[in-house]
Amino acid sequence: MKPKTLLSEPGTVKEAVVWAVALILVLLALQSGRTWWRLRHIPGPFLASLTDLYRINWVWSKQAHLKLQQCHKRYGKVVRIGPNTVSFSDPAAVPTVYPMRAGIPKSNFYVTLRPYTSGQALHAVFNTTEEDLLKQIKPPIAPLFSVSSAATLEPLVDTVLECIHTRFDERFADKEQVFDMGQWLQFFAFDVMGSITFSKRYGFLDEGRDVGGMLGTIVDFMRAAAPMTQSYLLDKFLRKNIIADTIRRHIGATPSLTILAFVARAIKEKREALESGNESKAEAMHTDYLTRYLALQRSKPSIPQWAPTAWTFSNVIAGSDSVGTTMRTLLFNLLSYPHTLSKLQSELSAAGLSRPYPRYAEVRDLPYLDACVQEAIRVHPPFALPLERVVPPEGLSVLGTWLPGGSVVGGSPYVVNRDVGLYGEDAEFWRPERWLGVDAALRRDMENSMLTFGAGRRICLGRHVAFLEIKKLIPFLVLTYNIRLVDREKFETENSWFFFQRNFNTQIRKAGGIETL
C-alpha cells in the first residue's frame, strides 16, 4: 500500500486550496487595511480610499481635471484620492513635493507611460523612476536644451515658418474657407520638431494632413495609457506583458510600436548619412538633436545603447504635442478676449520687429507677449493629471499634513495653476495682466509654482525650445493675418493625460489683426 500524502487525498487537496486562497485573501485584506489606516486622517471620497478604480473612472471620463478640482473645493487643499494616493492644490507645497534634491522619486504612474515592446519597456528622461538610470541619461543632454542652445535652433524654426506662411496664403488667406486652426498649429509644432530633431520636416504642413497617421497614433497611445496611469498593477496585467503584447500585435493595436518604428527608421537613416562620408549632407544636419544624441553616445560609453531611441521618442511625443497645445490655447484666448489681442498688437507694432518672421532676440523679452505665454501655459497645461511622487521612508509633511513613507502624493497642473491665493480670485479665467505690475518676488513665485512643465529637479528640459517656437509663431500670425474665430462654442477639450483640444475653427485674410465673430 502506498503511503498517504497530502496530494493523494482529494478532499485534503481541496481543503488545502481553500486554505491557501483564504490566506491570500486575508493577507490582501490586511495589506489593504494597513494602507487605508495609514491615510485615514486625510479627507476625501470614501470610495477613493478603498480602490483605485474610483480614480480610474475619473480618467476614463476624460474630465479628471474637473473632478479633482471639485474634490479639492469640497475636501480642502490635501485630499485622499486613492488607497495610497494624495493630491494637493496649494502651490505652497510645490517645493516640498518637487524639490531640487534627490530622494522623492517619481511613482509608478510614469512606468505606465513607457512604450512596451519585445518584452520590455523603454525608459526615457521623463518616465524613468530609477535614480541611477536618470543620472546616465539626463545630464548628457541637459546642456542641449539650455536657453543658449535653444536659440541656435532658430534658423530651423524659420524654415517651418516660411512653410506655414506659404500654405496659409495658398490655401486659406482671403478665400473665406473655414479650417481648423488648431490642427494646423499642431502641424507646425510637429514639423518644427522634425526639423530640429532630424533636419527635415515630417511633411504635415506640406501635405496639410496627418502624414502616416502620426498624430492619430499619439492620441490612441495616450487614450490607452491614461486610465492605466492610475493603477500600475492593472497596466502590468492588461498591457505590459508578453501575452498582451502578442495580442496587440495580432490585432494591430500597437500605437507605441508605430512611433518606435518611425524613430528607429530615422535613427538608421541618420547613422547611414553620418557614416557614409557625405560631408555636405552631414554638415547640413549637424545642428539637429539626433546628430547630437548619436555623437554623445559615441563619446560616452556609459550612455546606454538605447538612449538615442529614448531621447528621440521623447522629442516626437511630448516635444511636439505640448507646444501645439500651448499655441492653440494662446491664440484661442486672444480671439476670445479681443482686448488682450489689441494690447499684444500694439506692443508688437511698436517693437519694430523684423518682418515677416521676427527674430527671437526681438520678441523674447516683450512684456505683454511674455505675459500671454505665461497665462496660456497656466490656464491650459498640456498635461492635466497629478504629477505623482513617492514619499520617502521617513515621511513628509505637506501643507501641515503628515504623509507616511511609501504613500504617493502629487499636484495636478490644472488645479494648482488655478490657486486663487496666488493667481487671484479670477484664476479660472484668461487675464495676462496678472503677470504685469507685480513685484519681482511675487512674479518669481507665480512662475515657479506653476506645474505646467513640472518642477524641481525633474522639470521639463524642453521648455526653452517651446518658448522659442511659441514666441516666434504667435507674433508672425498676429502681424500677418486677420483671423476670424468661427463657432467658438464647438471648441472642446479632452483630458487623456495629454490635454487635447479640438474644433478650433477659423477664417483668415491678409492684414494685421484678429477679429472674432
Whether 473 is covered by a domain: the verdict is yes
87 to 51, 98, 412, 474: CA distances (angstroms): 15, 13, 8, 35
Cα–Cα distance between 172 and 189 in angstroms, integer? 19
The one-letter amino acid at 504: F
Q: Is residue 26 part of a domain?
A: no
Contacts 24+ apart (CB under 8 A), 218-224: 218/255, 218/259, 218/317, 218/321, 218/498, 219/496, 219/498, 219/500, 220/255, 221/115, 221/255, 221/256, 221/259, 221/317, 222/496, 222/497, 222/498, 222/500, 223/496, 224/253, 224/255
Residue 465 lies in a domain: yes
Distance CA 14, CA 21 (A): 11
479 in a domain, yes or no?
A: yes
**Contacts for 353 with CB less than 8 Å, ≥ 6 apart:** 359, 362, 363, 475, 479
Q: Are 99 and 266 in contact (CB under 8 A)?
A: no
Whether residue 18 lies inside any domain: the answer is no
CATH, residue 453: 1.10.630.10
Residue 344 resides in a domain:
yes
**Distance of alpha carbon 480 from alpha carbon 514, whole angstroms:** 10
> 202: domain range?
41-516
| Residue carrying C-alpha cell 511674455 | 370
66 part of a folded domain: yes
Q: Is 163 annotated as a binding residue?
A: no
Would you write out the chain's pLDDT as a tens digit for each of its 517 residues? 555 544 455 556 566 656 666 665 554 554 555 566 799 999 999 999 999 999 999 999 999 999 999 999 999 999 999 999 999 999 999 999 999 999 999 999 999 998 876 667 788 899 999 999 999 999 999 999 999 999 999 999 999 999 999 999 999 998 989 999 999 999 999 999 999 998 889 899 999 999 888 888 889 889 989 999 999 888 888 877 777 777 766 666 556 667 777 888 888 888 887 777 664 454 454 478 999 999 998 888 888 888 998 899 888 877 788 999 999 999 999 999 999 999 999 999 999 999 999 999 999 999 999 999 999 999 999 999 999 999 999 999 999 999 999 999 999 999 999 999 999 999 999 999 999 999 999 999 999 999 999 999 999 999 999 999 999 999 999 999 999 999 999 999 999 999 999 999 999 999 754 554 4
User: What are the grid coordinates assigned to 213, written together?
Assistant: 497617421
- First CA to last CA across the chain, in angstroms? 95
Rounded to whole angstroms, how far apart are CA atoms 80 and 41?
A: 9
Residue 19 lies in a domain: no
C-alpha 48/C-alpha 64 separation (Å) is 13
Cα 391 from Cα 97, distance rounded (Å) = 8
Rounded to whole angstroms, how far apart are CA atoms 406 and 415? 24
Domains of the chain: total: 1
> β-strands 515-516, 481-485: how paired?
parallel
Number of residues in the chain: 517
